[in-house]
Amino acid sequence: MTIWDKIYKNYQKGGLAWASLSEGIHPLFRSFLVESEFSSKSVLDIGCGMGKYLKFLQSKGFKTDGIDSSETAVEATKNLLGDGSMILCVNMFEFEIPRNKYDLIISISTIHHGTKENVKRLIREIHALIRKNGKIFITLPDLESAKKWDTFKEHENLSRGVYAPLSGPEKGLPHSFYSKEEIEIIFSIFKEVKLDLDDIGRWIIRGEK
């Protein structure tokens, strides 16, 4: 059982809505969707959680697929969508993204759960495998958030900008935090990159292949 599977199981039993579980659809995602055009309306959600973004996209006519490390979340998403979507329980850093299948790949509050090397490699794979002119909507935490978020009042410093909480539901799980300059370098392989820092300290990243 993964750390996040324990979090989702606890949540289903009436426990704490940890981290982004209690959030609705981000307003910048809503506006991004209105302003964008998609050739096939086929989306992959990396870290789909319990499926709220995929359900929202399904209502907009998208063909929806998702992955998550939690079996509990995957089953909840399958039940929520109720269709033939590919929803898999896998490690996002080991998953082989199908080439040229998606014209939208999203990841909300997820891909920072790993080392910076793994995150960078995944972003490059997304760029290589998404359709031509495909779009991304990805969030990564700002470096300053590590000083502000309660989860990281006590943490282990694993490397520059990579920390693991010493207590709480995500105890021991690596989290990578980023400066604006780091984000600009990592996502320079994409076109039309837009960055916004939201009110809880996440970089909201949009771009196009």
Per-residue pLDDT tens for 188-202? 999 999 999 999 999
Residue 138 has pLDDT above 80, yes or no: yes
Task: Give the residue extent of every domain in the chain.
Answer: 27-139+182-208
Give per-residue pLDDT as tens, 84-128: 899 999 999 999 999 999 999 999 999 999 999 999 999 999 999
How far is residue 41 from each of residues 1, 36, 65, 71, 141, measured CA to CA in Å?
33, 11, 11, 26, 27
- Choose between 168 and 57: higher pLDDT: 57
d(CA 109, CA 23): 11
B/e letters for 48-79, b = 16+ CB within 10 Å, e = fewer, are bbbbbbbbbbbeeebbbbbbbbbebbbebbbe
In this structure, which CATH number among 3.40.190.10, 3.40.50.150, 3.60.110.10, 3.40.50.2300 belongs to the domain 27-139+182-208?
3.40.50.150
pLDDT value at position 18? 55
- Contacting residues for 195 by C-beta, under 8 A, at least 6 apart: 180, 183, 184, 203, 204, 205
* pLDDT for the residue numbered 8: 75
Q: Rounded mean pLDDT of 155-175?
A: 93
CA–CA distance, 209 with 205 (Å, rounded to integer): 13
pTM value is: 0.94
Q: Contact at 8 Å (CB) between 45 and 77? A: no
Q: How confident is the model at residue 16 (pLDDT cuts 50, 70, 90)?
A: low
Split at pLDDT 50, 70, 90, the class of 15 is low
Query: What mean pLDDT is predicted for residues 169-194?
Result: 96
At 155 the pLDDT is 92
Quote the longest CA-to-CA distance of the chain. Answer: 46
Confidence of residue 168 (pLDDT cuts 50, 70, 90): confident
Mean of the pLDDT values across residues 58-87? Answer: 95
| Short-list 31, 28, 44, CA closest to 134 | 44
Q: How many CB atoms lie within 10 A of CB 98?
A: 12
Q: What is the mean pLDDT of the chain?
A: 93
